[in-house]
Structure 1
Amino acid sequence: MARGQLRIYLGAAPGVGKTYAMLEEAHRRAERGTDVVVGFVEPHGRQATAAMIGDLEVLPRRTMSYRGVEFAEMDLAALLERRPEVAIVDELAHTNVPGSSNLKRWQDVQELLEAGITVLSTVNIQHLESLNDVVEQITGAKQRETVPDEIVRRAEQVELVDMTPEALRRRMAHGNIYRPDKIDAALGNYFRIGNLTALRELSLLWLADKVDEQLGRYRTDHDIGATWEARERVVVALTGGPEGETLVRRAARVAARSKGADLLAVHVARSDGLVGADPAQLARQRVLVESLGGTYHQVAGNDIPAALLDFARGVNATQIVLGASRRGRFAQFLSPGVGVTTTARSGSIDVHLVTHEQIGRGRRQVSVGSALSRRRRLAGFALAAVGMPLLTYGGLLLEDGLSLTSEILVFLAGVVGVALVGGLWPALLAAVVGSLLINYFFTPPTRDFTIAQRENLLALAVFLVVAAAVSAVVDLAARRTREAARASADAQTLATVAGGVLRGARPLTALLERLRETFTLRTVALLERLPDAPPGPDLQRDPNAWRIAASVGPQPCATPAAGDVDVRVDENLSLVLSGRLLDAADRRIVEAFAAQAAVALRQERLSEEAAAVRPLAEADRMRTALLAAVSHDLRTPLASAKAAVTSLRSVEVEFDEADRDELLATAEESLDRLGQLVANLLDMSRLQAGVLGLSLTPIGLEDAVPPALDELGEPARQVRVRLPAHLPAVLADPGLLERVLVNVVANALRFSPSDRPPLVTASEHGGQVELRVVDQGPGIPHEEWEQVFLPFQRYGDRDNHAGVGLGLALSRGLAEAMGGSLVPEDTPGGGLTLVLSLPSAEGESR
């Protein structure tokens, strides 16, 4: 069975018209004779959207009960049984009611697709998993329902439903998106111009990435190697030389000329894995690339131009930036070089050859030390000096003697042995000495350096050439083995350090400590030059010009000159080591570590700055949420009170006594709500500032609960109260305790079904009195319990439109201020129980 196709309408924000556009497409398909069924569409009270369903076949919803509340969900089983050609399924990120066959609606959609049904669906950009935290940072509203990006990326078609922020706000103001009582709060909070502009840009960028991914797949499927300049991509080639920073900055300027261009840096490493570039230079250049908004890549290949062009074509690059050759003129005469070869093969890709200060200075080879140790070279010379005469003496002792060919083979074996022990130069010495001995003792006429036959001359010459060649090959193999071992050790060291840094809480200290352990140093210090330090010849020795940014070990060096090794990171940072001198190969690795230390220092400081700014950002977020919520909660009672008073003062309408009493009651109730809101705000501010006054006295719950219920008015008369007769008094502030009870009981009333009112009960355990306010409403999942105690948030309100939501946050704060606690529990049979624990007055007196 062929899998169905998925078409998604992606909206930048609620209300842009994605459901409307989806239904328009459904009508177009139905008019063409396609079997279309509406599995689920949520109009959200928008008349135009509801009317757009029209005569489309609508599958009845499945009613499900969860914690005493009825929910209408899409009937997946009925839709699969109906098997239409096209199913309309709104809100892809929706979370199904517990008890459904799938947790998420996108999982329902996957089942429909597997059954061969094509699905049209909708999702907003804020519901994509990868953008969830970004949207929360922009809007201040956390999206609890998300869909994995991969689900949307795998859709055959994604259509962006877009609208300018100004047009969307006009739709909001005209009442086409939210109910009238939510319009002002929405316009002042989620639907601000800046928020909508940012969400629109996120949508366009995300969709551009998906389109670019589709283009890449198309080019691969159709074997298209030519560059399509749909988007500028600048590739800069790095060799690990000192000119790399110049090239990176030049490439960044080239990329900056095109809005939205990508910058990619690539280093082509030798495929044999041996050292060919300076890792310290590459590390610094990688940091520079990433700081300029680019990405760093590394590929392997022996043919550098071919590897570079393969990478460029693979990423659909439009331009390549290369440095002019550092080789001399003679070397360029023998070989055209990477730049010229790449330009000749580039085809439609533009190649920029950038001049720099290193032109013509030659390519500095990175030294990795001698192939063999000094001790082995001396042993080789000794073996050559003693071994060749011994082979000669042994040959002379044989009575019958060996043929010249056999003697040459014996001496050749001796030369190979010398090469294995001492390397090239001892072997060359052995070859020369051996050729002279063979000539003198074994080549006719013997005891003379003359050679009678040309064949013997040729054999002796071949012996000398073969001995030299074998010596060179053995020495090269030993050198390569040493280089490979060194490269492997360096890579293992770098990997170990990187792992230690990633696992450490303080990456800079962990890096320096691992460096100290690796090279058995006494101290390692990262010194930073002070901003006001004057340059001069004594700068490296002036302790007043430097400060220790980080160090490990006893008595760190205070100046670069005080250490055994000084590795300059840049003009302001220097890594100083003490304890022993390092050889050249070790210094290269330390230089790479020094570059990483600079990155770690920058990250630590950014983290410190972020930590310092975080309270300010949190305060700003709280103020934003407060203004958005208070603007709604203040406006509603003020509007009701004003409307009642204006009506009473009107001379155009004659009110009877009952109407006047109702209007006065409305005004009184609204002003009471306003007074309670202001009191909560003042108490919350005093609580957060630590200046809330407390007067703890013994008080019985039987005396505290009735006044709280009286303050709640008529709705609280149905609350059931069951307090034990001999319950001990609690130690609390009577006014604050009443405030806590009012807020907690009001919350229970808000969520309790009308036929199952809240229950207030209490018990005493271990010197604590626990008062339980039990409701049998929909309840709250365990993982979201703490959210109900956040200031300016209400559970179930995703856009902060339901009000200030200070009640439970203030209640917990007041309970803790009185030495108690307020925690949630599950209600048996469904619902939520809030447990207020306070110290017993009797336990306190004991």
Structure 2
Amino acid sequence: MERDDEIRRPDPEDLLAQVKAENRGRLTIFLGAAAGVGKTYAMLETAHERQADGVDVVIGWVETHGRPETEALVRGLSIIPPRELVYRGKVFREMDLDALLQRRPQLALVDELAHTNIPGSRHTRRYQDVEELLAAGINVYTTLNIQHVESLNDIVAQITGIRVQETVPDRLLEEADQIQLIDIPPEELIERLKEGKVYVPPQAERALQKFFRPGNINALRELAMRYTARRVEGQLDHYMRLHGIAGPWPAGERVMACVSPSPFSAQVIRTARRMAAGLKAEWLAVYVETPDRLPADENRRDQLARNLHLAEELGAEVITLTGNDAAEELLAVARRKNVTQIVIGKPLHPRWQELWRGSLVDKIIRGSQGISVHIIPGRTSSREGHRAIGWRYRQRVSSWPYAGVLVAVMLVTVLNKILQPVFDFTNIALLYLLPVLFSASRWGRGPSILASVLGALAFDFFFVPPVLSFTVYNLRYLLSFVIFLVVAVITSTMATRLNIQVENARRRETRTAALYALSRKMAAETDIEGILKTVVKTVAETVDGEAVIFMPDAAGKLEVRATVPSSPEKWLDNNEYAVAGWVFTHEQIAGRGTDTLAGADGLYLPLKADENNLGVLGVKLTHPERHLEPEQRRLLEAFASLAALAILRLQLAAEAQQARYLEASEKLRTALFNSISHELRTPLASITAAVTGLLEGDEVYHPEERQALLQTIKESARRLNRLVGNLLDMARLESGMLQLKLEWCDLEDIIGVALGQLRETLQDRPLEVSISPGLPLVKVDFTLIEQVLVNLLENAVKYSPPGSKIDIAVRREGKELQVAVADRGVGIPESDRERVFGKFYRLQSPRHVSGTGLGLSICKGIIEAHGGKIWVEARSGGGSVFYFSLPLAEQPPGAVPSEGGGGQGDR
């Protein structure tokens, strides 16, 4: 029973996906085998039904092709007028995406999903417009022919002989909420074509001859039905998992596509995608870089990047490896990933190359051991086949390396002639290997092979009898020539291969070093501004251009936070800001070199980390005619990810710091309330009790008792007044609102006023005041320094035994005036001498000591506000000495120094 309950439990991932999908619009695709089956007609009919149910329906774009019955259905529905774009001197009409987003209907009709927009539109393809509508929460009805599905592109080309250029990614159909298959018999479709209901008569005639043949139509119908059937099966499976319905699950198949820099790999990738979809299996695309399969030139690297990008778009897990044997690496990945199906392309190179270098396909078949291997034959045109075979050698040819080879062989020949009297034929032949090695390491395979051929000919012509003739009398020299050529070719090939490996390793090392340097620099930064400056500087140096980072302000509007150079106004116009805003909103790459907003001057990448879009990274190349290489773009994406993570790290650290501040504030508030509640209740209770007794009448208490009650009221009121005063002073210090009223004062006068205020508190204490003679005046706030002395004296009274002596001393120390208040209490441990000046900190005492623990903290704040310092030391013989110093300023004219003296003396 527990197992059955576990099977029936809904899948959390499906539930989460369903919650996320609730915020997006719903997509319905009307899918047909070919044009003319009635997709647009069915879409409009369904839209009228929805409108009758009260749904707000708007036509974003509908192509009627002049069909009266279709135009009749358009009437009665709201239409967003198309926008007009001028391209190459002609005016074209396109769907007005902005107007549709502003209108925000419940349901939008967008015909021809695979359409390519006119340059100047926001997106290159119409399906991208639809994705933006869905992201805005608008439901969309759209139409699509089966030949426009990306993974079926090769199959459609084989069936019809026509390769469709406009395709739609499979993920869009997989994410669609509903697919409605629109189908009619081939005979009816052909009849509609003949009647001119699909195309105009001349175009319809050509279509009937090439595309709309009965066999083609039936094959396309089968494709459409099979695709829709897989979709229905997937929906049923999703429904069962979402609702926890027990049932049979598909087998754990996994498909692997073997990718190479060849253009033919695109067919292999699409085949693997279709196979994985048919098996409802995961699939991966693997490329192995080996010394003999390195993408030596830029064209091969670009083609490899396009192949891997196609696999990524089709939903594959892309893996790139480096190894010596491609077959062994591919089989190792297949076993590690539990692959059951391997898809690999049939090689297009000549048979002799397989005999020379070995067949990758044969090696994989021999080592498959239970894994099914599917070999896909190439069906490229002759031109494509030629390009695939000769792809490795498509490099820019320069005559200088070959001229250099000729000069090097001539120099070696001259050197051999000079050394011929002391050299034999073996040494002379070995010297001719020097131009081969040199040219292979500097210029590549072609010049090195030329060097080997010229070296062999020069050796024969100038040194092998008969000299100055290519005729060879001794046949054993022919074998020497062959061996020399073989050694030279192998040596040049290995040197060239090593050179290519070094170049690729250098490129990888450069990327890795750039990423490492950026991460190390960002780790050293402690603020966001420093990280942003580091990122834009690194990006600008890497791509040889300009870089800028946008981040939202408090109102959510993007603003430039860092840029290199410091004045980006030359290229950051309103259009560029709009592109950056679109990237920030939609969290997608856009701008130059992409399919979205390609007319922008810069390329813009979102700074996204942990589902948070933190900003936008913009890049503009110094030379507008140059484009970013695929490797540079991937490096920029890595930079953007690193920057986003670093920014997020600092933001989280700031939030954690804020949380710590809030926690400390909460503790402070709790301590304040606990302390104040007791300190306020004690004097209030004393006052209440004394006043209550006095109100009972004169006959209840004797005059002495009444006097005692009045004294209690006075002491409690004074204690309450000090408490409130301390709280107000602390609030002023914490808020920074403490304003000093500086005036020239005699410190002896301040001490006298403080002692007068504490006359009753100090009446049973011996007190000695020692003031050095001739002390200068100090410029301080009289009232606040008096408050410091009062708090220090009260603290001495609280923490020293009754009747113990308190000493006050004032003396000059250099450019400061130093005051000391000493007691004979228990003393302060060294570990607590800094903490006693903290808020609400109170020392442990064997007797009860009243107070809130704010007095010394207030003293510290007041003294530091005057530019002085305060500290405590242990007193010889027991007790503590509190010191504070005040800076001395230039004395005012006519100032009279203090006479000093004993002051209070002993009492």
Using structure 2 for the length normalisation, give the TM-score.
0.41
Which protein shows a greater Rg?
Answer: 2
Using structure 1 for the length normalisation, give the TM-score.
0.44
Higher relative contact order (CA 8 A, sep 6+): 1
